[in-house]
Structure 1
């Protein structure tokens, strides 16, 4: 006799089976999660070996194959980051074992294996944020529903991704940014298994992630033949590079505070061995301690993997790979408030000043002497100038550029994130925000798929009310 419990068990079993999806990759099989009947999420897909033990402070290398079906239904922990600012992101589980990628795709893409891919590098100043903080439902509705595979890789941040002592044989520079390059190569290699066309991979980034997307798209070291990257969308990029001598000084100071370095006594090899033996959370606490002294680690160096270390930024921009790019910012970014500056604050260093320290001190004097509310702080000015100069450089290289600005109020550095990744929702809501909400992510979708924010349209053509609204808004933003 078949009992009610048996039917209940069978019903639950069927539901579980139909909520799963198993695919094969070059490294092993993955079990993802089915959403809305025809959409899938494959989370915590490893692209590199865990950067722990002797691999801490080393270049990331491709992951080893896994023998069984890997559970890719839930997120991995976020990469270690500075949690000195109280936000929801910083309450996420964190681990050094974090070099994973999250894929959002659909049945249609898995069958065709020809969908466009949008690779999103998250922001946070190479110091905070994560690849697991975003709104799954938003991504599925705005991108996957429009036949775009959305991909978010994690990368090392803060002391784990920026440590550098001036010698690549001790610790290679830009570890976190090199993670981003390895992730791009892994995605290019494996994207067909998730339903994507490997010749149609596009980059999207906000803030520091926008800076990464921008320099990767410009770089002749990463993709001179336009084999890896098709188009780039760059939002609010602050291309403030760290000064090598300041980063090196701060890193030795960090090692001293941790108890791994005594000047003129400890060798570099002894120092690194000691640093690799320390608890990860202890290192983060010391990083916070340094920030209290205005000593920050949140910018990468102008160097590998996207340019030669020591190459001028002007030369890098002048020799950009021509590409289609959409780039812009909000109208206010960080507003007019004065900020306590790192000492010294290297304002405009991405413009290759011959005497950056003198320029920084002069800038700070003029900035701090200005009447309150009459001049934007340096972070905001840096974004405005970088958007303009990189857009011009890409045009001069023969590329095609769409320049935009979001004027929606309230305006801040993160105020438009709700429109393209569904985070940082506004404290209050106004009707015009609904207009932006329908327009912003669609603009990115159109550009990613077709190379035009509003494909097939000319300004003033009103044959489609929805697309005409997009065009009017784009005209206003431009």
Structure 2
């Protein structure tokens, strides 16, 4: 069953009315029977529409209202180009700075309120919205475990990350949108029975990188208390864009608004361009893994939000419990085509050389590459076609995410060794989950976005009717995630204790690979992917030059 309901698909009674700092709102009671009923307030504006003169400006407070505002449907998605697979799930608008709150109706056990799980969607910084992650499913699978859930939208792509390379406009506006939403939640969430002193920031893919950046930025790091970067984090090589000004100039040229060296004049002309001209689409097949992956546009170093190298910011930041990981076969999402080469070993040599390149290791590249391949597959033995395909996908997954996940654990433990950091690999997969995409795939396994689907209880890649085992996996995952939101420990306590064969132990400096393999029978494992990501992460950390700000 889908986890998102349309405004008119079924009648739901009105929610309770709440008077926010902007004015009164009313939503729907999406679960309106039984002891655990849940209210949903959707499309709440948390900032003024970023249009006209506010395009490329910092988020501003919304005008207050006095009449009851009906918040009963998701707000418009941000400006983006829809792919054929995504379809047009909802209208788009530059006016998209809204959030959604799903909150239990019953009285919280704690007098301070329910823990708050604040979710930031991914989409390569240029696409997606809160719609896809559901409303009814969030109420059913997360809120019923005694948490308030917030999902937000922010400016996407070039509208969220445009840069002039100087101070004419603020950089990283999308990150400032997220921060503005966090401030609104801190001020208002108590009205929804949420605890402003127990907020967990969760994001997936580019959203995972975003929540990690928010956890260390001096602008936002004091606004929440725990962090869950899923399938992406700031240690991933694609999290900071290497040449955003170059990307913006190219897009401006496509729109016929050239950078004429007067950036204030350039910005004024760009404000006259129709919003849809800024839209971009996410094409995972176009992600370049021949060198460090580079996205269309994204976060950059600046003088305010990311003003120092990331490791310096980590050292300065308050300790936050962390739950971090990704799916078992993240590279599979990049392996839809070209997976039947005549010489698979040559492909492996090419891909490992793109990670451990001669640029970084002019004298030792071959030795390092061979040792990495030894931790992947026995190249001297015969293998089936699928075994070669899995090895090729694994290397792409290493470049895309696996190394970044392991590096994030190392970075956090190096800068803040007392941080409780729980690492996972999401290994469960329903073989029917990929629908018509399945015929393109060399094999089926948990891949990018599989983990978040079982947190929100809504399969976000393709429509899927969950079966009994899927629902069991959802219950396992949501119990662990809500326990982390409540206690900073996925194991939980008392009535919330997770039913695990082995306690989920945090990673340590001595063993940074220990992680929970999440399946119908979760298992704690001491080694992550044959130690390959750890091996490459340590080499690359030493080889990459420091950031020159």
TM range, smaller chain:
0.7 to 0.9
Q: What's the counterpart of residue 499 of structure 2?
A: 467
Residue 394 of structure 1 deviates from its aligned partner by: 2.5
Secondary structure, aligned partner of 2:323: strand
1: CA distance between counterparts of 2:212 and 2:523? 23
Q: What's the counterpart of residue 153 of structure 1?
A: 152
Residue 427 of structure 1 deviates from its aligned partner by: 6.2
Per-residue Cα deviation, 1:100-125 (whole angstroms, up to 9, x for no partner): 11000122258966111100011111
Cα 1:152/1:17, change in 2 over 3 Å: closer
Q: Does residue 392 of structure 1 match 2:410?
A: yes
After alignment, is 396-405 or 467-476 more displaced? 467-476
Residue 428 of structure 1 deviates from its aligned partner by: 8.9
In the alignment, is the contact (CA less than 8 A) between 2:38 and 2:103 conserved in 1? yes
In the alignment, is the contact (CA less than 8 A) between 1:79 and 1:98 conserved in 2? yes
CA RMSD of superposed structures (Å): 3.8
Secondary structure, aligned partner of 1:441: helix
1:312-461 matched pairs, under 5 angstroms: 312-335=309-332, 337=335, 358-359=359-360, 373=389, 374-375=391-392, 376-378=394-396, 380-396=398-414, 397=416, 398-409=418-429, 410-421=445-456, 422-424=458-460, 433-456=470-493
Q: What's the counterpart of residue 26 of structure 2?
A: 31
In the alignment, is the contact (CA less than 8 A) between 1:222 and 1:305 conserved in 2? no
Secondary structure, aligned partner of 1:334: helix
1: CA distance between counterparts of 2:123 and 2:227? 19
Q: What's the counterpart of residue 263 of structure 2?
A: 268
1: CA distance between counterparts of 2:57 and 2:480? 39
Q: What's the counterpart of residue 343 of structure 1?
A: none
TM-score (norm 1): 0.79
Secondary structure, aligned partner of 1:438: helix
1:208-219 matched pairs, under 5 angstroms: 208-219=206-217
Per-residue Cα deviation, 1:190-235 (whole angstroms, up to 9, x for no partner): 1111111111111111111111112222344423xx5x21211121
In the alignment, is the contact (CA less than 8 A) between 2:31 and 2:38 conserved in 1? yes
1: CA distance between counterparts of 2:305 and 2:266? 28
Residue 357 of structure 1 deviates from its aligned partner by: 11
Q: Which runs of 5+ in 2 are unaligned?
A: 1-9, 289-293, 339-350, 374-378, 380-387, 430-444, 505-520, 527-549
2: CA distance between counterparts of 1:252 and 1:176? 19
1:58-97 matched pairs, under 5 angstroms: 58-83=57-82, 85-88=83-86, 90-97=88-95
In the alignment, is the contact (CA less than 8 A) between 2:230 and 2:452 conserved in 1? no
1: CA distance between counterparts of 2:286 and 2:194? 45
Q: Which runs of 5+ in 1 are unaligned?
A: 1-14, 341-346, 458-462
Secondary structure, aligned partner of 1:272: helix
Q: What's the counterpart of residue 278 of structure 2?
A: 283
In the alignment, is the contact (CA less than 8 A) between 1:174 and 1:301 conserved in 2? yes
Cα 1:210/1:477, change in 2 over 3 Å: farther
Residue 418 of structure 1 deviates from its aligned partner by: 2.2
2: CA distance between counterparts of 1:283 and 1:208? 19
Residue 380 of structure 1 deviates from its aligned partner by: 4.1
Secondary structure, aligned partner of 1:277: coil
In the alignment, is the contact (CA less than 8 A) between 1:322 and 1:394 conserved in 2? no
